[in-house]
Chain A
Amino acid sequence: MRSLLPVLTVLIALLAVWFAAVAPMNIRQSLDQAERAGNVVMPEGARVRSETSRFLLMFQNPNEILRGFNLDRPRLPTPVQVGQELWKTTGAMVLKGRAFSKRSLIFHGWITLQSTLFGFALGTSIGILGAVAIVYSRTAAMSLMPWAIISQTIPIVALAPMIIVLTGQLGIEERAVPKAVISAYLCFFPVLVGMVKGLSSPAREDLDLLRTYSASGIATFFKLRLPSSLPYLFTSLKVGIAAALVGTIVGELPTGAISGLGARILIGDQFGTPLAIWSALFAAAILAGALVTLLGLFQRYALRRIRGAA
């Protein structure tokens, strides 16, 4: 709990910057609205204002600044508005007993979570198996590793539609499949790199000791390499699950997706409802935070079980 104070300080600073940014970001919209309502604004006419500096507009119309904090479709919503929207689409839906209605972020979050976990399981398995191959075989190390690195240099946004089209061509109707594949594509890499490092972390003396026992490769793996790699595994799992979530959301962005947090972001963009985008964004961040925290707790529990209380 010692970290609470610094974390809160940063949070408050971020919120302050956010609030401060709302006024200049929304000033033009506020003045348009005020003008329509018959108020006198300086200068008149939306076109003229769009060429005037935001700060000058604020300076000339100080009475209209506050309007920007309460717009229906603000360019930048306030944290309070985002909080209200989040509550409206989660907690309030639960209270109404409609937690899984199509307008609820819980429903969309659940869709995203499913694909994320599926992709995470797939990506983690590929990453671990790849790492084992790379550590045990020079051929695999030389052939797999460069491709693994190249795979991450291709922008996932470019690749995602192709994966969706491809799985469709293969006759896979289930929408979760391409999303999970994209998610696994992003997720396997940190796990692979972490596990290669973890599995090769035993010192030469540790390996020599097992050689003096004439230990088999399998015994060396399970008694030394795997246990030594666990701290690395947990670290890469935490990176991996965040990457898996990003992958799923990216997979939900291209045409066709109607559910999931990524789809909410896309729809919010198309229908000009920034609040929907922001609340979906925050829902995704909260989901990622929860998943990483969960893994962290599991890590602490597992390492404590393995190492006594160290």
Chain B
Amino acid sequence: MVPFDRWASVMVIQAQNLSLTFETNDGPVDALKDVSLYIKKGDFVSFIGPSGCGKTTFLRCVAALETPTSGGLSVNGMSPDAARQARAYGYVFQAAGLYPWRTIAGNIRLPLEIMGFSRAEREERVDRVLELVELGGFGKKYPWQLSGGMQQRASIARALAFDADILLMDEPFGALDEIVRDRLNEELLGLWARTGKTIGFVTHSIPEAVYLSTRIVVMSPRPGRITDVIESTLPKERPLDIRDSREFIEIAHRVREGLRAGHGDVL
């Protein structure tokens, strides 16, 4: 047994029998049912499953954007609300959501302004995260002057700007084409290796989940629940062609099996 406080310092996100029921006009919908899960510091955890399986809802609960109906959830040992106040995480949405009236640098500065960083520190941080996502020199551009992939990198930079330990990403590359997506996946792994962040990543794509993650959480809908949790045996260093390796294909196969078990008619 690991002593409790050591356990707590390693566990970044802990969910215990988490359930969330939405009241809709067609009656109650179980978005999440008895979800128990832990995420360790430095993990890269992907959530995969068909729409309606609760993967996004789970992430939103972690970010205190939704309130669970029952069960326990702690982030950095605090309630999700307290964790938000403590700036525990940065959130990246599917749409880059950059403000068209602000430059790229201005967009990245947004959370820093709201959180009250000093002017000098804001500039220093903006420059640093722009370099981190390889957008150095693009600070003065407006969002419409950038490609979709670059906009999404800027939105990741915005989530990194205030040094949260956790990065929550809700299908961040879902709207991008495959080539750009591959490139960004590779970059994201590099970024993760350099910064040591804990990442929660929602995706529809099996190859993306297998390529990125240290753990893959397979979910199924109605009610939203976890059907399988797969520990990846892939090395931390992952060139793109690892996707042709036997190991990769085996893991992908297991993910597919998990999806099929949860929802027979989808795949």
Task: List A residues at the B interface (Cβ < 8 Å).
Answer: 203, 205-206, 208-216, 219, 223-224, 227, 230, 306-308, 310
Contacts and interface: CB of A to CB of B under 8 A. Distances in A.
B22 interface: no
Nearest to A220: B114
Contacts of B85: 214
Contact of B103 (A213, A227, A308): A308
Nearest to B103: A308
A205 B90 CA distance: 14
A215 B63 contact: no
A205 B95 contact: yes
A213 B101 contact: no
Interface in B45-80: 60, 63-65
Task: Pick the most buried of A215, A216, A224, A307: most chain B CB atoms within 10 A of its CB.
Answer: A307
Contacts of A216: 114
Contacts of B94: 205
Nearest to B140: A308
27 contacts: A203-B95, A203-B97, A205-B94, A205-B97, A208-B60, A208-B65, A208-B91, A208-B93, A209-B93, A209-B97, A211-B64, A211-B65, A212-B63, A213-B87, A213-B110, A213-B111, A214-B84, A215-B114, A216-B114, A219-B114, A223-B113, A227-B101, A307-B142, A308-B142, A308-B144, A310-B100, A310-B142
Interface string B102-145: 01000000110111000000000000000000000000001011
Interface of B: 60, 63-65, 84-85, 87, 89-91, 93-95, 97, 99-101, 103, 110-111, 113-115, 142, 144-145
A213 B115 CA distance: 7
A205 B100 contact: no
Nearest to B86: A214
Contacts of B63: 212
Contacts of B142: 307-308, 310
Contacts of A213: 87, 110-111, 114-115
Task: Pick the most buried of B84, B110, B145: most chain A CB atoms within 10 A of its CB.
Answer: B110
A306 B97 contact: no
Contacts of B60: 208
Contacts of B93: 205, 208-209
Contact of B114 (A205, A223, A306, A307): A223
A33 to B, nearest CB: 64
A208 B66 CA distance: 10
A202 to B, nearest CB: 10
A48 to B, nearest CB: 71
List the 3 closest pairs (A to B, CB-CB), nearest first.
Answer: A308-B142, A212-B91, A306-B101
Given A205-B97, A212-B90, 19 more contacts: A203-B95, A205-B93, A205-B95, A208-B91, A210-B114, A211-B65, A212-B63, A212-B65, A213-B110, A213-B115, A214-B84, A216-B114, A223-B113, A224-B99, A307-B101, A307-B142, A308-B145, A310-B142, A310-B144
A307 B110 CA distance: 16
Contacts of B111: 213
Contacts of A212: 63, 65, 84, 89-91
Nearest to B113: A223
A223 B65 contact: no
Contacts of B114: 210, 213-216, 219, 223
A224 B107 CA distance: 11
